[in-house]
Amino acid sequence: GQNIDQPTEMTATEGAIVQINCTYQTSGFNGLFWYQQHAGEAPTFLSYNVLDGLEEKGRFSSFLSRSKGYSYLLLKELQMKDSASYLCAVSLTSGTYKYIFGTGTRLKVLA
Amino acid sequence: DADVTQTPRNRITKTGKRIMLECSQTKGHDRMYWYRQDPGLGLRLIYYSFDVKDINKGEISDGYSVSRQAQAKFSLSLESAIPNQTALYFCATSVGGEETQYFGPGTRLLVL
């Protein structure tokens, strides 16, 4: 079957660094996405990893290890506005659907 | 103006009623998707369409149907709504060859 696991909730302090992990077991892996979703709003794209390694984009970085079925999203210099859910999603090369999402990690940033 | 719009934004209906949720996009994307989001279950794909003549079932299509009226419009219908279809529904779009999806603002549906 297809499965994505990520922690349900995390708490961190403003200005700190937080790492949100995602592990997946899928058939026909193509790439891994991270989306940010503020409460009651639409998910918005953060990053996309196809190859192993680290992709850096401003305060956000995303890492992928295809052999380990593992990814993480690293958020630096946390701000209050980073309080949101972070969704890990995998795109598949085969199957009846192209995308599966994890249940999301709700991040609370405290002052 | 938003690139992906959904109407209505909120809807309350009764069990057994037929309802339609609509999605329009001005991004010029060929691919469109319908998801539902439930607390603790994440986003689940209902249907997707890679072009006007291509409709595919997703993970949870039972009880739903779709219509792709034009490249820019993709509608989701609940033929006979039931309470466990109460959820937040999102439409999304993408360009063929690129995997990033762009989401509409969502429709909050309550079935009594």
Give the pLDDT of chain A (111 residues) as one tens digit per residue.
788 999 999 999 999 999 999 999 988 888 999 999 999 899 999 999 999 999 999 999 999 999 999 999 999 999 999 999 999 999 887 655 678 899 999 999 999
Euclidean distance between CA atoms A90 and A88, whole angstroms: 7
pLDDT in tens, B59-106: 899 999 999 999 999 999 999 999 999 999 999 999 887 788 999 999
pLDDT in tens, B12-28: 999 999 999 999 999 99
Q: What is the mean pLDDT of residues B31-42?
A: 92
Interface test with B, best of A46, A97, A101, A103 (most B CBs within 10 A): A97
Q: Does A41 touch chain B (CB under 8 A)?
A: yes
Q: What is the mean pLDDT of residues B38-61?
A: 91
Q: How confident is the model at residue B41 (pLDDT cuts 50, 70, 90)?
A: confident
Q: How confident is the model at residue B10 (pLDDT cuts 50, 70, 90)?
A: very high
What confidence score (pLDDT) does residue B2 get? 67
Q: Does A19 touch chain B (CB under 8 A)?
A: no
Structure tokens at B74: 């993709």
Pick from B92, B87, B78, B89: which is nearest to B2 by CA? B92
What confidence score (pLDDT) does residue B99 get? 81
Q: Which of B40, B45, B104 sits opposite A99 (nearest CB)?
A: B45
What confidence score (pLDDT) does residue A98 get? 73
Whether A48 sits inside 8 A of B56 (CB atoms) is no
Q: Is B69 exposed, middle or buried (0-12, 13-18, 19+ CB in 10 A)?
A: exposed
Please, what is the end-to-end C-alpha distance for chain B in angstroms?
33
B26: DSSP letter: -
What confidence score (pLDDT) does residue A28 get? 83
Look at residue B1 and tell me whether its pLDDT is greater than 60. no
What confidence score (pLDDT) does residue A96 get? 57
